[in-house]
Structures are given as C-alpha cells and as structure tokens.
Amino acid sequence: MIYGYNFKTIIGEFGLLESDDKLVGVLLPGEDMPLNVIMKESDLLFEAKKQIESYLDGDIKEFNLPIFYDGTDFMKSVWSALSTITYGTTKSYKDIAVTIGSPKAARAVGMANNRNPLPIIIPCHRVIGNRGNLIGYRGGLNIKKQLLELERIVCENEKKQQIVENII
C-alpha cells in the first residue's frame, strides 16, 4: 500500500509517497500524484513535510528520515554518491561518474539523476554541468536554481555569523 500527501511550500506544491513505513517518493512542483495512492497524512509523511519545510526555510541541512529507493545497481550507486554532496556545494555529472568508478558514464549519471525518486532528500539538484552551468533537473531549472541559491545564502549567512562571533 502506498500513501501520499501533498503540501504547499514557498516554491510550489510537493507530494510525498510512503510505503512500508519508509519515504519512497518526493514529487516536485508540477508532478502529479500516482493514481494508485491512498491520500493520508501519516506520521512519517508529516515528519517529511516538516523537514522539507525546515530545509526550505534554511533551518536544516540534512534529512533524518527512513527512506527506500528501488532501481538498477547503477542508479543506486549514483543516488548513493549524490547523498555525499554536502549542503551548499555542487559536483558535476562527470565528478559523480568518477566517484562511482565509471568515468565515461556522465550521461548515464544524468539519466539516473533524473530518475531519483527522492529529490531534495537525495540532493540531485547539487549536480551541475562540467563548466559550472545549470543543466537538467526533473523539477525544472528554475527550482534547481532556487534550491542552490537557498543553500548559498544560508552558507553565506553562517559565515557572516561566525565572523561576528569571532569578533565578539
């Protein structure tokens, strides 16, 4: 049984999917809830909503949720590598390909990135083109840009706060 829940955020309406007490999907603004889903706000879906809202408010940098994702071994290796990209930083598709031991697979990394079932939780928005350009994002480049800008601002504010604390 799959449970679903929709909620509005500052960047649009998100959907969440739960199965067997694990978060199995994040739907970005503009994506439709699958038809076979039972709409219900479970404890897990409520907690996922809270954490995504906290992330979008700049209050948290990591998620602490039970997750499950299914895919090929290659996809899973990409998604695992995406999870290591720290808040406020980016890596290229080629960087991820090298990380997983397939240096010529940058395009395949892009396809796996596009099929990431848990965007934001598994931060595929932090993957950019080799030249630093924004390319490809399932939710659209505007949302990708907003997420990266949010992380940049939070990191800058933390650095400023650290400088002030060191002066005091």
pLDDT at 138: 87
pLDDT at 168: 61
Mean pLDDT of residues grouped by 10 in the chain (168 residues)?
95 96 96 94 96 94 96 96 94 95 94 95 93 85 92 80 63
pLDDT at 134: 86
pLDDT at 165: 62
pLDDT at 133: 83
Active site residues: 124
pLDDT at 162: 64
Q: Single out the residue of 57, 53, 107 nearest to residue 78, CA to CA.
A: 107
- Contact between 28 and 139 (Cβ < 8 Å): yes
Give the separation between CA 17 and CA 6, rounded to whole angstroms: 9
pLDDT at 156: 83
pLDDT at 111: 94
pLDDT at 69: 94
- To 10 degrees, the CA torsion angle through 107, 112, 118, 124? -20
Give the separation between CA 92 and CA 95, rounded to whole angstroms: 5
